[in-house]
Structure 1
């Protein structure tokens, strides 16, 4: 009776089967060609018959080799025609391969099938999350905004109550921008965003009232400088979220000063000019900057950060495919 130490798993015994079969096929082909050539040399068969036999032997060898290669070709076709958004993985199923497939090929098929299943599951969870989060997070924020607006119109509230309502409204706006940014970053396979041609300057101006509301009650002023105008093709919402995050980050650098948004040819800069009389928190880069960096990488809008000795923090976004617009 064989000992347990000499037993080998089937996958180990099947490894190299593809190479062995190819060696047998070409070995038999070589042997057959040599026999046919000897038949021709000793005039056992005419030259025409020898040539015909060599052609037939070569064709049979090629068909046998192609049959051995067919599982690999099948996997290659499945990979080349793979749609990440589709849940149909019938072309990947390892049980559809021939029973005596090489163990290395079977291992590759099993790994690819498992990988494709994980990607399909990830895409489904992504779609479910973005759909549910878009509704479940935005709806409470809308209710909070409406309630805060109603409280702000209540004349019976004192000064302290009004300040509290303004803080609620400001935090709600910040939360809306954060939710929008996270949803954009969560949509890896399907952006779900409308792309169009838009003027950068117009989008920034449209966002300024919300930014000013966020800064209400804080000793920070906001300025917009427009030495140039240019247009982009993409999602204006993504662009506005990116600028919003950079402005929020600039406002976190100190408790006072000036935040300047400058539009130059193919470039938008957000600069914080600190006040010398206000303590500066150096390198206070929060979650907003991390989100801005991920958006810039995702949409290939390079983001550069710079801190100068004159207490200026500069965030510069470059848009390689911008279109200038005459002033």
Structure 2
């Protein structure tokens, strides 16, 4: 769901921001700590040294060091009391000296004629665990705060989007009168919903105009077609009609039937997929025979062997007029583009295979076979056409859940397999 994805992106953005901010703060704190480390160590040693001096003033003896690494020394006049040589020349203040290759920090202070020394190795003055724990907790808290803020902001931002998405999902079909902008705030989401309402109204008006045009065109075309059919039928009843003229009139009659079927099929495809259609099962074989006979003239006079292996049990829940559109386009292609050789029509249960030894299809054209008005270079040379046949076939297949497979190589023929779905139309 897009709104959930947007929520995740907002939360992720805030988390990244919080993480970067937390790491920056912790890093800056750690960096500054390292930069002022000498000052911190100096203050720490002198604070401890002050307590040593106070203890000595009260008890006249040196206290035990607070840590095992610390060393406390005292010198008074010429009495050094075991003071190491590397400390003997140090003046009051803070010093860093190297002893046996290791760095030591020393605090020196004079008090009442005596000089006190507090020495600690550098390794004993590393940042303590509590400070590191504090930095870690700071980072974790910043991340959790960023997550919480991100979740709250994303919920507030996406709530109207989720409402709009649900309203779109519940809007129903094209006859729905639900207004998407109703009940939404007058903000960017409300403006988007209003724009969608306007777009839906325009789309509905466009669909209505297209349907009206289709219905009007169908009505206006059927009238002259009926006149032509009646005229041809009357002419065919003439007893003295020459055979050559009778054959031409029969071809005209078949063409008029095909035009009527195409008009009916196009009107069907122009309607919504959920339009009520017949669920009656029709056998494929009679329609296939009819289409073959109507187009047999295309291979008349060609050295072509036409073979048919037909299974009479195959049925589809598609009107014969629509089935003729699909079969007619596929069979006409095989008849048109085969110059010599063999054409096989094989009707198995649930599928139709058309194999020919025709001119074939260039591999560069295979990806565009179902584009409207597209014709390959070889097809344009071999026969006239507009490049609409396979596009129309694909639309019918998509509507009824059929599948069409085409395998072809230039100069070696084409194999088309149409797989029917024996079920009611969607």
- How far did residue 282 of structure 1 move? 4.2
8 Å contact from structure 1 (residues 250, 259) kept in 2:
yes
2:261 pairs with 1:169: no
In terms of Rg, which structure is larger?
Answer: 2
* Aligned residue pairs, count: 245
Q: 2:400 aligns with which of 258, 277, 299?
A: 299
Which residue number corresponds to residue 154 of structure 1? 238
* Structure 1 residues 230 and 164, CA gap change in structure 2 (3 angstroms): closer
Q: Using CA pairs under 8 Å that are at least 6 residues apart, name the structure with larger relative contact order, 1 or 2.
A: 1
Gaps of 5+ in 1: 1-61, 276-280, 323-327
2:286 paired with 1:205: yes
**Could you tell me which of 156, 168, 185 is aligned with 1:79?**
168
Which residue is 2:49 aligned to? none
Contact kept, 8 Å, 1:197 with 1:234, in 2: the verdict is yes
Structure 1 residues 243 and 140 mapped into 2: Cα distance closer, same or farther (>3 Å)? same
Query: Could you say which residue in structure 1 is the equivalent of 2:194?
Result: 110
Which of 361, 365, 389 pairs up with 1:288? 389
Contact 1:71 1:97 in 2 (8 A): no
Partner Cα separation in structure 2 for residue 318 and residue 184 of structure 1: 21
The alpha carbon displacement at 1:192 in A equals 4.7
Q: TM-score, normalised by structure 1?
A: 0.60
Residue 69 of structure 1, CA deviation: 8.8
Distance 1:210 1:149, change over 3 A: farther
Quote the Cα distance in structure 2 between the aligned partners of 1:288 and 1:110: 40
Give me the whole-angstrom Cα distance separating, in 2, the residues matched to 1:233 and 1:162: 35
**Larger deviation, residues 266-275 vs 116-125:** 266-275
Q: TM-score, normalised by structure 2?
A: 0.48
Q: State the distance in 1 between where 2:238 and 2:225 align.
A: 20
Q: CA deviation at 1:225?
A: 0.8
Give the root-mean-square deviation of aligned CA atoms: 3.8
* 294-303 vs 231-240, greater mean Cα deviation: 231-240
CA shift for structure 1 position 146? 2.0
